[in-house]
Amino acid sequence: MKLLRTLMAAATALAVTAFVAPSFAADDPGPAAYAKALNGKRVMLVPLAMGFDLAQGWAHYLKKEVEAWGGTFETRDPNWVVDAGAQAITDAIASDTRPDVLIIHAPDLNSYSKLMKKAQAAGTYVLLVDNPANFPADAFVGSDWDKLGQLEAEAAIKGCGENSSKKIGLVQGDQANSSSLYQYAGIMKVLEKHPDFQVVAKPDSNWDATTSRNVTTTMLQQHPDICSIIDFWDGDATGASAAIRDAKLDGKVFLVTTGGGEKAADCDKLVDGTYGAVVMTDLARQSGDMNAIIKFLLQSGQPAGTSHTYIYTLEKATTKADLKPDSCWDLKALQAEAAAK
């Protein structure tokens, strides 16, 4: 802490000196144009809720960057309620302090489409993050869920190995969310290429750990020889892992899931063997992509709604074997950092 403060003080001092001293870099038109385009701009993030690792991670990285270039960063927390999210967006568009960039984490394919169109009409750039929607946003930043599903399936096949029962169980999210639907499609694509592997059951968890546990328990009873289970989200995969523990099949069933790469949620669980493999999103890089496209859009001068960029984040299935110290980001550390300010 003390070190940090000293560093910051030093940095400030340096900046002041740099500002005061006549600088030959003043000739570079870049910083001035950059500041002119970005200064005072507003960025708003409307995730599904602020209460989970991904949203908190994004908010952290975005806030740091946006405030650094003199913008205002705000979040809205609909707490998983779609109507509340819709209203938050509506209010934001109609308010005096209309954001220049709206980053939306869509709950499903449809609900916000019309509002996003309205936002663009009002002159606000719309960024979709993580969940795709049936709307041509200015940019989409997030996972290619289809690809992600393929990675999961490949990890599961690898986890099972050649001499296994080759039975795979899926614990899906629900039948409405695009991330769940596309993941499933991706998994199926891979499994088509491996006809010897079969999906024996594919219940839904409704993103709830208790439900995940119950359905997994039943699945394991019906098919005790399952070699791998793919749970569609680390938020409820704890339930599936509990069921595996209950059935005393730890180590025998290879649990694959996906998540935001948070340390406690993913890496720690890989270390203790709860998960066999996690397809992790590199959150810092994803946030970096968002920052870059925001900066680009604000300087581009093109009207909102004219560009349609897709930036898919690099995904990688991580197992205990290839775990590195920097494989995960630590939410606790970010929070501590935020609290220290």
Footprint of another protein on residues 222-281 (CB under 8 A)? 222, 235, 238-239, 241-242, 245-246, 264-265, 272
* Separation between Cα atoms, residue 92 and residue 25, nearest integer Å: 39
Residue span binding another protein (CB under 8 A) among the ranges 12-20, 111-119, 298-306, 319-327: 111-119
Q: Which is nearer to another protein, 194 or 268 (CB)?
A: 268
Burial 259-290 (b: 16+ CB within 10 A, else e): bbbbbebbbebbeeebbbbbbbbbbeebbbbb
Task: Decide if residue 330 touches another protein (CB under 8 A).
Answer: no
75-104 positions binding another protein, by CB under 8 A: 75-88, 90-97
Position among 10, 16, 176, 314 found at the interface with another protein (CB under 8 A): 176
Minimum CB distance to another protein, residue 18 (Å): 34
307 binds another protein (CB under 8 A): no
Q: Which positions from 113 through 172 interact with another protein, judged by CB under 8 A? A: 113-115, 118, 134
Q: Which helix (H) or strand (E) holds 312?
A: strand 309-312
Q: Of 175 and 302, which CB lies nearer to another protein in the complex structure?
A: 175
Among 172, 183, 179, residue whose Cα is nearest residue 219: 172
Binding to another protein by residue 175, rule CB under 8 A? yes
Report, in Å, the least distance between residue 239 CB and another protein: 6
Residue 185 CA to residue 191 CA, distance in Å, equals 10
When the beta carbons of 108 and 164 are compared against another protein, the nearer one is 108
Burial code (b: 16+ CB inside 10 Å, e: under 16) for 219-242 equals bbeeeeebbbbbbbbbbbbbbbbb
Q: What tokens does 165 get? A: 């029962």
Which 8-state DSSP code applies to residue 96? T
Q: What are phi and psi of 216, to 5 degrees?
A: -65, -40
Site for another protein in 194-213 (CB under 8 A): 201-206, 208-211, 213
Nearest distance from C-beta of residue 24 to another protein, angstroms: 42
3-state secondary structure of 222: helix
